[in-house]
Structure formats: C-alpha cells, structure tokens
C-alpha cells in the first residue's frame, strides 16, 4: 500500500497521507476519499511529507481530482524533447472544496508535481518546508548485456513555468549534500533562511508570487520541530528499546486492552499512560541492563509515543497516526488555516 492513513482529523476536515506514488495509489485514494466523504468530509489535508515520488501518471491522476477541466497540471520539455502538456479532465471529485497540502524536504518528484500544480492554480495552501527539488525526466535504454543507461531528456515544469529541478551546476558532492546544507544554513528552522532566486519569479492566476530554481516553496512555513521529544525519549526510540517494550507490554495485556477498548477511536479517546507503564518500562530497562536511563514520567513526548506504539500493536495504523498527529505542527497549522476559511 502507498496510502498510509485516511481519517477525519476534525469534524468536516479529512486527512490523507500518501507515502509514495505507486500504480495502486489513485485507486487507494479514491477508496479513502469516498469513505471520508461519507463521514462528512468537506475540506482536505493531503500529506505528502517524506514522499519521494513515483509514477508521473499517478501524480497527474491525483492532481486531476482537485483541478477543474482544462487547467494545466505539469509539462515536460527538453532540448531534443518537445513540450508535452498534461491538463486536468472533467472527472475531478474535489475541485471546489478547500484543501491544504503538506510538504517537506523529503517531498520529491511526483509529490512536487502535485504540490506545484495546486499552488500554481491557486487551488490549495501549501504548508511546511521547501521540497527536495527533483524534476528530471529520464529515458532508459536497455543494452545487450542486460545493463541499462538512463539518459536525462527533459525537465518537469509547473503550470506557471517553474522548473522543479534544483541546480546541479556545481560538484556532485554539492548536489547530494544540498539537503544537509539546508540544515546547516538554518533553512529547516527559519523562513528567512530559505534561498529563493529572485530572478525566477512567477505569478499565479490569482496574483501570488512563486519562485522557481529548485523545489516548491510553501505558502506557509512550519519549522522542523527538533524538541518534540526529550533526549531520553529519542534515545529510547532510536535504540529500539521503546518499540520492544511497547510490543511486550501490549502482548502481556492484550486481552485486557481489547476488553476495555472496542476500537481505535475508543482507545485514542480514553487510554492514558499511567505510573504502571512507567514502572514496567523502568523494570524492562533494568532487565535489559540499560542502566543509564530511568524514566520519571514527565519526559517530553514519552506519553504520546508510547501510547501510539501500543495503539499500533492493538489497532494498527488507525490508532498510530491519529495519536502522533495530535501534536504535529504542520497538521495543526493546516487545521487552523482550513477552519478559518468558510
């Protein structure tokens, strides 16, 4: 599957997270969209963060759902590759409702095509951080020995004429380290640190200024949250200890959990991390000879991440994502923006 989760994040507002653009993504989206519509969805948050791309055809199909007939989605063009334009058809099922799209530095290629199309057509509010900047069209030539050569033949351009591809006129190391340089230069934390090429300004039909030169710059910047979890919680999570404990704890009390909580929504609403979980976690760490960590219980983010992991072991993604998303700044901003619009 390529669609991670779809649920009503707030009355009237749906949330859909897509992790990649696969051959099945469009059908997955339609199923999720129809289910959310039946639950009263009027507005949508489309989460493309960390989505590295996939099939162009799928990106065009998805964007088509949100754009009116005849509006341009994307075009490709190269020196020896004639311009090819992809336009929206009349089949879209969500062409007039308010929506927001979430992107970050991990959103690339097909994700940028969708975000760029919706931004350039003044169709959605783009929220988050500047996307990766991957917009090359490649043609594969198979060789007789079984190997293949991929030739770059064109680039992707958004409807206003912005090139999605970031520059690669410096060294190969500079190109691959560009994402890390964003961290060093503060771009992930400060909107003023985003480098835009003022010589590549474009105007949307609604008069909004957008910039070319690499990636999609969001309409609303949300900095990377580097303090969502305390250092202790980060150590527990990345060492695997928190995941292992959550699995063993859930397994130990599984029948009790399932007797008390009927479904994911019930678990999300009612379950609270107590001193019992903290004591058992400390006992687990002691048994595993992790003597450098002792939890008090007030470590930032501990309650939420442990509850999410237990929820995932009980009810899979239906509990995991909604719990984690409760303090996700980009999602909270999107909810705020969509709630303000009538």
Give the model's pLDDT for residue 174: 80
Distances (CA, A) of 295 to 45, 117, 135, 273, 310: 36, 47, 46, 13, 18
Model confidence at 55, in pLDDT bands (50, 70, 90)?
A: very high
Q: Tell which of 224, 244, 275 closes a domain.
A: 224
204 shares a domain with 149: yes
Residues 61-77 have a mean pLDDT of 98
Q: Give burial (CB, 10 Å; 0-12/13-18/19+) of 156.
A: buried
21 shares a domain with 91: yes
In a domain, 331, yes or no: no
199 shares a domain with 53: yes
Q: Is the Cβ–Cβ distance between 233 and 300 less than 8 Å?
A: yes
Give the model confidence (pLDDT) of 247-256 as tens digits. 999 999 999 9
Give the model's pLDDT for residue 167: 86
Percent of the chain residues past pLDDT 90, beyond the cut: 86
Residues 328-333 have a mean pLDDT of 98
In a domain, 336, yes or no: no
Number of domains in the chain: 2
In a domain, 340, yes or no: no
Q: Which domain holds residue 258?
A: 231-325
Give the model confidence (pLDDT) of 121-138 as tens digits. 999 999 999 999 999 998
Distances (CA, A) of 66 to 69, 80, 249, 284, 292: 10, 32, 44, 49, 52
Looking at the predicted structure, is the pLDDT value of residue 260 above 80?
Answer: yes
200 shares a domain with 274: no
Looking at the predicted structure, is the pLDDT value of residue 306 above 90?
Answer: yes
64 shares a domain with 203: yes
84 shares a domain with 48: yes
Give the model's pLDDT for residue 342: 66
272 shares a domain with 202: no
121 shares a domain with 210: yes
Q: Tell which of 224, 242, 268 closes a domain.
A: 224
Looking at the predicted structure, is the pLDDT value of residue 187 above 90?
Answer: yes
Give the model's pLDDT for residue 338: 98
Looking at the predicted structure, is the pLDDT value of residue 175 above 80?
Answer: no
Cβ-Cβ contacts under 8 Å for 261 (sequence gap 6 or more): 267, 270, 271, 314
Q: Tell which of 193, 224, 255 closes a domain.
A: 224
120 shares a domain with 171: yes
Which CATH number covers residue 32? 3.90.226.10
In a domain, 75, yes or no: yes
In a domain, 82, yes or no: yes
170 shares a domain with 186: yes
Residues 2-8 have a mean pLDDT of 98
Looking at the predicted structure, is the pLDDT value of residue 63 above 70?
Answer: yes
Looking at the predicted structure, is the pLDDT value of residue 140 above 90?
Answer: no
Alpha-carbon distance 272 to 242, whole Å?
Answer: 17
In a domain, 102, yes or no: yes
Looking at the predicted structure, is the pLDDT value of residue 227 above 90?
Answer: no
Looking at the predicted structure, is the pLDDT value of residue 291 above 90?
Answer: no
Alpha-carbon distance 228 to 301, whole Å?
Answer: 6
Determine how β-strand 13-18 pairs with β-strand 43-47. parallel
In a domain, 338, yes or no: no
161 shares a domain with 30: yes
87 shares a domain with 69: yes
Average pLDDT, rounded, for the chain:
95
In a domain, 255, yes or no: yes
């Amino acid at each position: 599957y390529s669609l991670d989760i779809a649920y009503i994040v707030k009355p009237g507002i749906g949330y859909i997270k897509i992790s990649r653009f696969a051959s099945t993504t469009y059908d997955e989206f339609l199923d999720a969209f129809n289910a959310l519509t039946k639950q009263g969805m009027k507005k949508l948050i489309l989460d493309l963060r960390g989505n590295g791309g996939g099939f162009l055809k799928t990106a065009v199909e998805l964007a088509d759902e949100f754009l009116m007939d005849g509006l341009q989605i994307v075009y490709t063009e190269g020196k020896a590759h004639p311009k090819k334009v992809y336009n929206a058809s009349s089949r879209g099922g969500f062409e007039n409702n308010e929506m927001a799209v979430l992107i970050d530095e991990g959103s690339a290629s097909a994700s940028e095509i969708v975000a760029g199309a919706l931004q350039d057509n003044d169709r959605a509010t783009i929220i988050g951080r500047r996307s990766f900047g991957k917009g090359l069209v490649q043609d594969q030539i198979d060789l007789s020995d079984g190997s293949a050569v991929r030739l770059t033949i064109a680039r992707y351009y958004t409807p206003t004429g912005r090139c999605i591809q970031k520059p690669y006129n410096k060294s190969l190391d500079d190109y691959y380290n560009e994402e890390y340089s964003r961290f060093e230069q503060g771009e992930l934390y400060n909107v003023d640190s985003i480098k835009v090429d003022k010589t590549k300004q474009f105007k949307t039909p609604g008069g909004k200024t957008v910039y070319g030169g690499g990636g999609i710059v969001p309409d609303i910047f949300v900095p990377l949250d580097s303090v969502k979890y305390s250092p202790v919680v980060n150590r527990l999570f990345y060492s695997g200890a928190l995941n292992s404990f959550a699995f063993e704890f859930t397994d130990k009390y599984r029948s009790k959990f399932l007797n008390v909580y009927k479904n994911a929504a019930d678990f999300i609403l009612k379950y609270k991390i107590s001193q019992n979980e903290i004591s058992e976690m400390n006992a687990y760490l002691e048994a595993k000879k992790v003597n450098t960590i002792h939890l008090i219980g007030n470590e930032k983010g501990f309650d939420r991440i442990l509850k999410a992991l237990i929820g995932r072991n009980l009810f899979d993604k239906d509990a995991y994502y909604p719990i984690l998303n409760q303090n996700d700044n980009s999602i909270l901003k999107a909810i705020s923006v969509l709630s303000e619009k009538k």
